Structure 1
Amino acid sequence: MELFTTTEEHEELRAAVRAVVRDKITPFAADVDEHSRFPAEALDALVATDFHAAHIPEEYGGVGADALASCIIIEEVARGCMSSSLIPAVNKLGTMPLILAADEDLKKKYLPEVASGRAMFSYGLSEREAGSDTASMTTRAVRDGDDWVLRGTKAWITNAGVSKYYTVMAVTDPDGGRGRNVSAFVVEDGDEGFTYGEPERKLGIKGSPTRELHFDNTRIPGDRMIGREGDGLKIALRTLDHTRVTIGAQAVGVAQGALDAATAYVKERKQFGKAIAEFQGAQFMLADMAMKLEAARQLTYVAAAKSERTDDDLGFFGAAAKCYASDAAMEITTDAVQLLGGAGYVKDFPVERMMRDAKITQIYEGTNQIQRMVMARHLIK
């Protein structure tokens, strides 16, 4: 059985990203969270080092990082600031439909802009009444000559308003078979009739704006369709097979950050005349946290290797990595808050932010209940 391994280059990459995060991203993480502001410092630092969209192939101006390298970047950024990790993660999510299914003209038009850092790319699939049940979406695209006219609303769109481009799924054949009547389009910021809702007020990832996309007779040239008409949902689900692995990487990163903070604290904090770290109760908590974290990391890295090869069982492993790692991250960040006691509950320490940020990894790109359905279907099939 062929297994993943991190190469010397992967570990050199990790060290390089970790240094950038330590110097240019983590120092701003608390302020980004406190003021719910986009982490501009992180974007600048990631673009300057080509870590903002490293997955884009070299032929489109990118660095052509493999799937495991992309995960390591996202993991290390999330370790310092979850909001900032959504820059490389969502750039991959938004552009993956193009990489998987678009014609060369479309790839050459949009991917170099993202690779250079001139533009970010978001993903518009969910709606208020079509979250887990994506096939029940109501956003419509109606053909008008060579163009398509979009009407409808997309909800919970990550980095909406700061991204320049959006992959948007819309029903193009209302009478067609469910799941085979959706097509994918590129929508550009500035397209007439395309506007944004107010920013959502969220529990966590406050530095990453989440807004609705509104389409009021938004005219899209026909050459902006991604792939074939009717293939939109198939493209969307293929995309998620790859990008769920990056959510696993985010979860591993934020969990690692929380474990690091908790370990440092219990070694310094003294009660009853000795460091908390000397008490067996605390030691067992740390051991369980580290064990779950390492299991999550290994599963995520195996899934990344399968993403790189597009293995037949990628769907199972992508779902498993996202589901297991995010559940582990929620447990680990919660235990980190517990280990810090009263200090863990206040904003002087980063673990309360990490706990709030970790929660979303159990929800977006398919709730963990949906991930379990995906895994079960692979087993039954």
Structure 2
Amino acid sequence: MADIDSILSAARQHCVEEIVPNVHAWNDAAKWPRAASDKAGELGLTGLYAPEAFGGQGLPLGEGIRVYEELGQGDGAYAFALSMHNICTFAGCGYGTDAFKEAWARDLTSGRKLANFALTEPQSGSDPMNMQSQATINGDGTWTISGAKAWVSLATEADIYFTVVKTSDAPGHKDMAMIAIPADAEGLSFGPLYDTPSYRFLPMGEMYMDKVVVSEDNIILPPGQGLQGSLMAIDIARVSIASGCCGLMQTALDVALAYTGNRKMFGGTALDQDGMQWMLGEVATDLEASRLLYRAAANALGTPEGPVMAAHAKRFVPDAAVKAANTCTQALGGMGLLRSYDMDRLSRLAQMLRIVDGTTEISRVVIGRSLKKRAADLPVPPIPKGFGEAG
């Protein structure tokens, strides 16, 4: 197993050397920075949870997820894309067939090839029970897939898409499977990429499958396991997003501290003012709380408490990041509106991270359901004698 400190140091190096100096150029070019993600692979950042036998780092989820906090200090969308690649690589190396591992594992862990996840559909959003994409088994054991997916990250750029589909006309989720579709499969195409102004370098769009035929070797999770595996992937993604948000918050706070600590006013600096210290102190507290929460959630993944802990992290931390970005922009006054200080980009990224892989409102639904379940198990408190009687 790799040493987590060395991996975090590599992520920090990648952020400083590749992300921060280049992210504006990436957005101006509106193109995924494949050279940068190749370098991330060389540093071991594209196979975080995969076994060392396949070239991965073999890190536990609770440790590997901390990488996105480092990357998020440079750009949350870049951290998000690499987190989804790592989740797919984890699934492929852990649950894929031997033939799939032989063909894909080392290319994925090294970052030579990129993977992404396709679950959401245009008509169903956060409701996977309304899925329409369907795979049908053929006489020779291959599968034919037709349907459409929405909000696919690394659309047109990934080399393989881990796609969740139904395998029958029966309602519900008991027939769902996860099948890896190579980007060069005949019948696979993409619509126009979404216009995302603050992270234009991350291609996102709809993916269309028109009688795409794939080998049975590409079944990652067989019928009946697709939804459960997808929900686990989403839980990992939600905690990874919370990790990236902490990096974003740290960057926003550091910019605000550097500016207000040097802004001369009222016989001192802006940071000498009680009001400014209170504003930024609240951001600092939210950041510390967010770190504790996402790390606890990361360590709970794979346990019965994992889904609700992931929901708590996805509910609280991105909201805190939006608040932090806005507060730090306010701390800079008019300068906070200038591109050179980057606060507008951070604010838009924080809002994006509130939405992807389940909005914060969906997390509230998950939390609410867990509260209802807990309430059902609690004894009903006795009603005080005389309560409610007329006086």
TM-score (normalizing by structure 2): 0.90
Q: What per-residue deviation string (whole Å, max 9, x for no partner) do you get for residues 141-196 of structure 1? A: 1222222211111111111111101111112111x241223221110011001112
1:375 aligns with 2:367: yes
C-alpha distance in 2 between matches for 1:293 and 1:68 = 18
1:224 aligns with 2:207: no
1:50 aligns with 2:14: no
* Letter paired with 1:63: Q
- Aligned equivalent of 1:324: 316
- Aligned equivalent of 1:347: 339
- Aligned equivalent of 2:266: 272
Residues 76 and 244 in structure 2, CA contact (< 8 A), matched pair in contact too? yes
C-alpha distance in 2 between matches for 1:99 and 1:51 = 15
Q: How does 1:348-367 map to 2 (within 5 A)?
A: 348-367=340-359
Q: How does 1:242-253 map to 2 (within 5 A)?
A: 242-253=236-247
Between 1:365-374 and 1:79-88, the stretch displaced more is 79-88
* Letter paired with 1:334: N
Shift of residue 268 of structure 1?
1.5
Q: How does 1:1-381 map to 2 (within 5 A)?
A: 9-99=3-93, 101-145=95-139, 146-174=141-169, 176-307=170-301, 310-381=302-373
SS at match of 2:358: coil
Q: RMSD value over aligned CA atoms?
A: 1.9
Q: What per-residue deviation string (whole Å, max 9, x for no partner) do you get for residues 57-93 of structure 1? A: 1122111122233222111111112232134211123
Q: What per-residue deviation string (whole Å, max 9, x for no partner) do you get for residues 286-336 of structure 1? A: 1000100110111111111222xx222011111111221111111101111
Shift of residue 378 of structure 1?
2.7
Shift of residue 125 of structure 1?
0.3
Q: Structure 1 330/233 Cα, relative in aligned 2: closer, same or farther at 3 Å?
A: same
Residues 80 and 240 in structure 2, CA contact (< 8 A), matched pair in contact too? no
Q: What per-residue deviation string (whole Å, max 9, x for no partner) do you get for residues 243-296 of structure 1? A: 221111111111111111111111112233421111111111110001001101
Shift of residue 100 of structure 1?
5.4
SS at match of 2:202: coil
- Unaligned 5+ residue runs, structure 1? 1-7
SS at match of 1:80: coil
Residues 47 and 55 in structure 2, CA contact (< 8 A), matched pair in contact too? no
Residues 4 and 64 in structure 2, CA contact (< 8 A), matched pair in contact too? no
SS at match of 2:144: strand
Larger Rg: 2
C-alpha distance in 1 between matches for 2:46 and 2:355 = 23
* Letter paired with 1:311: T
Residues 103 and 227 in structure 1, CA contact (< 8 A), matched pair in contact too? no
C-alpha distance in 2 between matches for 1:234 and 1:249 = 23
TM-score (normalizing by structure 1): 0.92
Q: Structure 1 285/10 Cα, relative in aligned 2: closer, same or farther at 3 Å?
A: farther
SS at match of 2:339: coil
Q: Structure 1 344/53 Cα, relative in aligned 2: closer, same or farther at 3 Å?
A: farther
C-alpha distance in 2 between matches for 1:204 and 1:71 = 24
Q: Structure 1 320/52 Cα, relative in aligned 2: closer, same or farther at 3 Å?
A: same
Q: Structure 1 126/96 Cα, relative in aligned 2: closer, same or farther at 3 Å?
A: farther
Between 1:114-123 and 1:23-32, the stretch displaced more is 23-32
- Unaligned 5+ residue runs, structure 2? 374-391
C-alpha distance in 1 between matches for 2:248 and 2:356 = 15
Q: Structure 1 178/189 Cα, relative in aligned 2: closer, same or farther at 3 Å?
A: same
Question: How many equivalent pairs are there?
Answer: 371
- Aligned equivalent of 1:3: none
Shift of residue 14 of structure 1?
2.9
